[in-house]
Structure 1
Amino acid sequence: MTRFVNPGLVPTSRRNVLRGSVLAGAAAVTGGFATSAAAMPKHVPAPTPRMPGAQIIQAQADAQARAPSPDLSGYVRVKQEMVAPPFAPVHEQVATGDPKIVEVTLETQERLMVVDEDTGASVWALTYNGSVPGPLIIVHQGDYVEITLRNPQDSVMEHNVDFHASTGALGGGGLTHVFPGEEAVLRWKATKPGVFTYHCAPGGAMIPYHVCHGMNGTVMVLPRDGLKDGQGNPLTYDSIAYIGEQDYYLPRDENGDFKTYEAAGDDYPDSLDAMRTLTPTHSVFNGAVGALTGDAALRANVGETVLMIHNQANRDTRPHLIGGHGNFVWEAGSFSDAPQTGLESWFIRGGSAGAAMYTFEQPGVYAYVNHNLIEAALLGATAHFVVEGDWDNALMEQVVAPRTFEI
């Protein structure tokens, strides 16, 4: 029977495992009191109950617990092995057979990550499976996604997951609250094809705190017969480049240097102050400045088609492939709609994912950027594709090399 965790009912021994900031955030969504103000760390505000939303969430949990489960006896179960971004799990572009139950395990990990080696900026990242963004999940329309969400015993925070691709209970966020040492299993049906954000949403101010500490990822729900252009012709790709754009709001000290913290959650009040400015200190791809450049650059060959999946769980962004285009673009992420074609840049709304397909025609280094060039050049939102193959002078040719000239 599914249970909705009310932190006000957590035994005292369990409360002592968790930091007060976590319990304050959880209390904000459930309306429960986590613990007394006197028992909480000094840097964390006392929890307060909130709105009748908690009763609505509890009613949803109770209703689904009473409802009959669907007959899944005819479904084949398959386990999808998660891989770290920018890569994609093994999958079929066109589904074979009937819809399946796709089993996925996400484990929350709170880990110290370097954001920018040059400045020493670091963050206690809150992650799914240890990466920013969380791993890409790929299923087909009509499949069931069965998520096991695990929160290790050595965590200090409560976590959950809200799938924008799912229907009901705050995207599953209302049914997946797990404390350290707990796991929950959620099953939802992939009814809408497209690319969708998922993220942690414990409640209150802890929602942006978790999202802006890296706890977000993407689900791709492919049509069963694969991707199509506007005329219904099939579109296929050779590889996927999965890019998660992350805005960080890292606190600074009185000298302007980035602060460091001993443990996850210790930066909570400072981070809230930094986030209230709405001005990120960093806007990066896949967790850190330079994470997809140099030796870690994305790679392709001339003639290969790459599906670029771009997720931004919090802010608007404008991807652009310098030297290339979006041949087919699902800007709003919906595969139910015909793709736009031939775009120079495309717009990804905050809290969503989008996809663009491009076939490389020339070798060289392509910069994939947020075309807010301030964020690309100064805040870190840049990746590189290194493409190998033969140059085509019919597409571009340097007629005269740079030289001096006389007026």
Structure 2
Amino acid sequence: MENNNDKTMDRRSFLRGTTLASGAALGAITLAGNAGAAGTTAPTVLGDDQIASAEVKVAPSLSEAEIAKLPRVKQEMVAPPFAPKHDLIAKGGPKVVEVTLTIEEMPWQIDDEAETIALTFHGSVPGPLIVVHEGDYVEVTLENPETNAMEHNVDFHASTGALGGGGLTHVLPGETAVMRWKATKPGAFVYHCAPGGSMIPYHVIKGMNGAVVVLPRDGLTDGRGKAITYDKMYYIGEQDFYVPKDENGEYMKFTEAGEDFSEVMELARGLIPTHEVFNGKVGALTGDGAMKAKVGEKVLFIHSQANRDCRPHLIGGHWNYSWEAGSFDDIAGRGHETAIIRGGSAGVFHYEFLQPGVYAYVNHNLIEATELGAVGHMVVEGEWDDDLMKEIKKGGTS
């Protein structure tokens, strides 16, 4: 691709100036009304078919002086599918959880043939999983190194006001923004870059999204009074990519973020991705990258898709408990086989592995799984249980 310095500066000016203007205008809509405490709804369950009226519990508002006295914890960012260290049940009162997200615009190999310039939070697709407890404060430092070409920000679906913080975190290359939000709703939520206009879908489909889990302070329950624990947490971020091809049918290659904006968006408007993958690449969760467990271990899966609906399914198992819409205020589903994740949300699924072997974790739109790449593996060690399944006969018909 032709890329002289003048054209690069023109493109950077366009990418920075137009997104900053549109983002600032959108942010101004909500900033004036961004005050007051948020409420948390906790339903009291009477039975499987009866739910009492929800009692609204308003989390106490703290002054800046009170927040300044809270303990501070720096959460180490780890690449998916792994989750940061966390407690299943909160210890003590609210904390300020410090999170640093460094934006990286980087070459990204999707499969053996297709590559792109990915826009990432912290160098992974999806961005790192953040785990806090209800009532905690999340203090986010968003860093946009001067070596980047584009303006960015971050919108947390778990937060309240200012476009999820997107109106407060616009950063040009070389800038840093710090923003604090309160985790008022227990559940799993998407976060993503949303600089404004057409740049919103462009940044999301280039990999710039992740998820936050807000655990109840007293730990997970099924909504019927039963506590739910887990031994491991895995994060699967499903990503749709749109990689344009040239007149010869070859995937086009670009050298700088934003250079492919017109081609990618023209392709994306057709709503048919060239790739639908887990954790950024075809095969990212297979082979050496496969998720692992042992028979008897309980695993909590977090599955997000920031742009399109998807259908996670575990071949060889089914969810013991599921929060399909991501809200831990919901009564957990039981024994579901396949879930629907709405585009722009995250779901949570719990499973205790009872048989060893390789489980396929797929998008059960099987075209997207087998043809576009939405397949991962769960490798489980342990002893086989013949009571659950046994091969009786194999071979000829006689």
Do Structure 1 and Structure 2 share a fold, with TM-score over 0.5?
yes
SS in structure 1 opposite 2:66?
coil
In 2 relative to 1, CA 193–57 (structure 1 residues): closer, same or farther, beyond 3 Å?
A: closer
Residue 24 of structure 2 is aligned to residue 30 of structure 1: yes
AA aligned to 1:363 is P
TM-superposed deviation, 1:17:
9.3
Residue 396 of structure 2: aligned partner: 404
Residue 71 of structure 2 is aligned to residue 76 of structure 1: yes
SS in structure 2 opposite 1:71?
helix
Cα distance in 2 for residues equivalent to 1:93 and 1:333: 17
Q: Which runs of 5+ in 2 are unaligned?
A: 1-8, 37-62
Preserved CA contact (<8 Å) 2:34 2:161: no
1:334-390 Cα deviation digits (max 9, x unpaired): 011111000011111000000000000000000000000000000000000010000
In 2 relative to 1, CA 253–96 (structure 1 residues): closer, same or farther, beyond 3 Å?
A: same
TM-superposed deviation, 1:262:
1.5
Residue 307 of structure 2 is aligned to residue 314 of structure 1: yes
Residue 218 of structure 2 is aligned to residue 245 of structure 1: no
Correspondent of 1:358 among 329, 333, 351: 351
Residue 48 of structure 1: aligned partner: none
TM-superposed deviation, 1:229:
1.4
Q: Which moved more, 1:254-263 or 1:386-395?
A: 254-263
Residue 56 of structure 2 is aligned to residue 56 of structure 1: no
AA aligned to 2:388 is L
Residue 93 of structure 2: aligned partner: 98
TM-score (structure 1 length as normaliser): 0.86
Preserved CA contact (<8 Å) 1:61 1:174: no
Cα distance in 1 for residues equivalent to 2:261 and 2:367: 27
TM-superposed deviation, 1:100:
0.4
Cα distance in 2 for residues equivalent to 1:276 and 1:371: 24
Preserved CA contact (<8 Å) 1:19 1:156: no
Identity %: 60
Superposition pairs for residues 3-402 of structure 1, below 5 Å?
18-30=12-24, 53=26, 55-57=28-30, 59=32, 69=64, 71-117=66-112, 120-401=113-394
- Runs of at least 4 residues of structure 1 off by over 4 A? 57-63
TM-superposed deviation, 1:58:
6.3
Cα distance in 2 for residues equivalent to 1:62 and 1:359: 42
Cα distance in 2 for residues equivalent to 1:342 and 1:58: 43
1:88-138 Cα deviation digits (max 9, x unpaired): 001000001010000000000000010011xx1001000000000000000
AA aligned to 2:14 is G
TM-superposed deviation, 1:29:
3.2
Cα distance in 1 for residues equivalent to 2:31 and 2:327: 31
In 2 relative to 1, CA 273–303 (structure 1 residues): closer, same or farther, beyond 3 Å?
A: same
Q: How many equivalent residue pairs?
A: 364
TM-score (structure 2 length as normaliser): 0.88
TM-superposed deviation, 1:314:
0.3
Cα distance in 2 for residues equivalent to 1:393 and 1:61: 58
TM-superposed deviation, 1:267:
0.4
Cα distance in 2 for residues equivalent to 1:90 and 1:348: 25
SS in structure 2 opposite 1:247?
strand
Residue 49 of structure 1: aligned partner: none
Preserved CA contact (<8 Å) 1:26 1:204: no
Preserved CA contact (<8 Å) 1:251 1:270: yes
Cα distance in 1 for residues equivalent to 2:379 and 2:314: 12
Preserved CA contact (<8 Å) 1:128 1:134: yes
Q: Which runs of 5+ in 1 are unaligned?
A: 1-14, 32-52
Cα distance in 1 for residues equivalent to 2:303 and 2:251: 28
